[in-house]
Structure 1
Amino acid sequence: MGTARRIAKNAAVTFFGDNLLKVLSTVLVILIARYLGDVDYGKFTFALSFTGLFLVLMDLGTRILIVRDIIQNKDKAPKIVANVLLLKVVSTTVVYFLMLAIAYFLSYDHNTMVALAIAGAGLIFDSLAATVGSIFQAYERLEFGVMARITRILLRFAVTVPLLLMGVSFIWILVIYAVVHFINFVMVLAICYKKFVALNFDFDKNMIVSILKRSFPFWLSGIFVTVYFRIDITLMSKLAPTALAGVYSAVSRDAVIGWYSSAYNLLDAAAAIAGAVSAAILPVAVAYFRDSREKLMKLYSLAARYLVFIAVPTAVGTTLLADKIIVLLYKAEYANASLALQILIWTMVPLCINYMMGAMMIASHQEKKGVYVLMLNAVVNILLNLYLIPRYSLYGAAVATVLTEIFYFAGYYFIISRSVGHLDFVKMFVKPVVASAVMGLVIFKFMGGLPVVVAIIASMIIYGAAMFLMKALEEEDIALIRKIFIRKEI
Structure 2
Amino acid sequence: MSVARKIARNTALLMIASLFTNIMAFVWTLYTARYLGTVGFGILSAALALTGIFSVLADLGLSTYATREVARDNEKTSKFLGNIALIKCFLALITVSLLYITVLFKEYPPQSVSVIMIIGGYMLFTSFTALFNAIFQGHQKMEYQTIGNIINSSLLLFGILLAIYLQGDIISISLAYLMASIITLIYSAGVTSWKFTRPSLEYDRKFWKKSITQALPFGITGIFTTIYFWIDSVMLSFMQGDAAVGLYNAPYKLLFVMLSFYSVYMLALFPAMAQFYKGSSESLKLTYTRSYKYMLILSLPIAVGTTMLAQEIILLIYGAEYLPAVAALQILIWSIVFMFVNGLSSNLLGSIDKQLTVTKITGIGALVNIGINLAIIPILSFYGASIATVFTEFFIMILFTRVVSKTEFSVGSTIFSDLWRILIPNLIMLGVLVYLEVSLLVMILICSVVYVASILITKAIDEQDISIIKSLIGKNKS
**TM superposition score category, shorter chain reference:** over 0.9
8 A Cα contact 1:4 1:489, kept in partner: no
Q: What is the match of residue 250 of structure 2?
A: 262
Shift of 1:465: 2.1
Residues of 1 paired with 2:95 and 2:472: CA distance?
Answer: 45
1:57 alignment partner AA: L
8 A Cα contact 1:260 1:394, kept in partner: yes
Q: What is the match of residue 356 of structure 2?
A: 368
Q: What is the match of residue 218 of structure 2?
A: 218
For residues 401-480 of structure 1, the aligned pairs below 5 Å read 401-423=389-411, 424-447=414-437, 450-480=438-468
Q: What is the match of residue 390 of structure 1?
A: 378
Does structure 1 residue 338 correspond to structure 2 residue 319?
A: no
Residues of 2 paired with 1:183 and 1:383: CA distance?
Answer: 40
8 A Cα contact 2:67 2:137, kept in partner: yes
1:371 alignment partner AA: T
Q: What is the match of residue 89 of structure 2?
A: 89
1:239 alignment partner AA: M
Q: What is the match of residue 10 of structure 1?
A: 10
Partner of 1:280, secondary structure, is helix
Cα deviation 1:92-147 (Å, max 9, x = unaligned): 11111111101211222221111111111111111111112210000000111111
For residues 61-460 of structure 1, the aligned pairs below 5 Å read 61-240=61-240, 253-423=241-411, 424-447=414-437, 450-460=438-448
How many corresponding residue pairs?
Answer: 476
Shift of 1:191: 0.4
8 A Cα contact 2:314 2:325, kept in partner: yes
8 A Cα contact 1:286 1:364, kept in partner: yes
- Of 337-346 and 196-205, more deviation after overlay is shown by 196-205
Shift of 1:268: 1.1
Partner of 1:406, secondary structure, is helix
Q: Which runs of 5+ in 2 are unaligned?
A: none
Question: What TM-score does the superposition give when structure 1 sets the normalisation length?
Answer: 0.94
Residues of 2 paired with 1:138 and 1:19: CA distance?
Answer: 23
Cα deviation 1:289-316 (Å, max 9, x = unaligned): 1111111111111112112111111111
- Of 195-204 and 373-382, more deviation after overlay is shown by 195-204
Q: What is the match of residue 44 of structure 2?
A: 44
Residues of 1 paired with 2:129 and 2:477: CA distance?
Answer: 34
RMSD between superposed Cα atoms in Å: 1.4
Residues of 1 paired with 2:175 and 2:228: CA distance?
Answer: 27
- Of 34-43 and 386-395, more deviation after overlay is shown by 34-43
Q: What is the match of residue 243 of structure 1?
A: none
Cα deviation 1:45-86 (Å, max 9, x = unaligned): 111111111000111210111111212222221121111111
Q: What is the match of residue 53 of structure 2?
A: 53
Residues of 1 paired with 2:283 and 2:42: CA distance?
Answer: 46
Residues of 1 paired with 2:364 and 2:474: CA distance?
Answer: 46
Q: What is the match of residue 249 of structure 1?
A: none
- Of 38-47 and 336-345, more deviation after overlay is shown by 38-47
Shift of 1:489: 6.7
Residues of 1 paired with 2:266 and 2:115: CA distance?
Answer: 33
- Of 374-383 and 420-429, more deviation after overlay is shown by 420-429
1:299 alignment partner AA: T
1:110 alignment partner AA: P
8 A Cα contact 1:45 1:261, kept in partner: yes
8 A Cα contact 2:218 2:355, kept in partner: yes
Residues of 2 paired with 1:264 and 1:119: CA distance?
Answer: 19
8 A Cα contact 2:67 2:138, kept in partner: yes
Residues of 2 paired with 1:32 and 1:191: CA distance?
Answer: 32
Residues of 2 paired with 1:14 and 1:308: CA distance?
Answer: 21
1:309 alignment partner AA: I
Residues of 1 paired with 2:165 and 2:183: CA distance?
Answer: 24
Q: Which runs of 5+ in 1 are unaligned?
A: 241-252
Residues of 2 paired with 1:466 and 1:385: CA distance?
Answer: 39
Partner of 1:203, secondary structure, is coil
Shift of 1:350: 1.1
User: CA distance change for structure 1 residues 75 and 487 in 2, over 3 Å: closer, same or farther?
Assistant: farther
Shift of 1:487: 6.1
8 A Cα contact 1:237 1:257, kept in partner: yes
Residues of 2 paired with 1:313 and 1:392: CA distance?
Answer: 27
User: CA distance change for structure 1 residues 136 and 8 in 2, over 3 Å: closer, same or farther?
Assistant: same
User: CA distance change for structure 1 residues 475 and 488 in 2, over 3 Å: closer, same or farther?
Assistant: closer
- Of 308-317 and 451-460, more deviation after overlay is shown by 451-460
Partner of 2:362, secondary structure, is helix
Partner of 2:78, secondary structure, is helix
User: CA distance change for structure 1 residues 259 and 451 in 2, over 3 Å: closer, same or farther?
Assistant: same
Shift of 1:427: 3.4
Residues of 2 paired with 1:215 and 1:489: CA distance?
Answer: 38
Residues of 2 paired with 1:50 and 1:222: CA distance?
Answer: 14
8 A Cα contact 2:72 2:274, kept in partner: no
Shift of 1:488: 5.5
Cα deviation 1:447-470 (Å, max 9, x = unaligned): 2xx221111111112212222222
Cα deviation 1:418-458 (Å, max 9, x = unaligned): 234222332343222111111112211222xx221111111
Residues of 2 paired with 1:166 and 1:92: CA distance?
Answer: 33
Residues of 2 paired with 1:385 and 1:420: CA distance?
Answer: 36
Q: What is the match of residue 248 of structure 1?
A: none
8 A Cα contact 1:79 1:199, kept in partner: no
Residues of 2 paired with 1:482 and 1:439: CA distance?
Answer: 27
8 A Cα contact 1:61 1:216, kept in partner: yes
Residues of 1 paired with 2:246 and 2:474: CA distance?
Answer: 49
Question: What TM-score does the superposition give when structure 2 sets the normalisation length?
Answer: 0.97
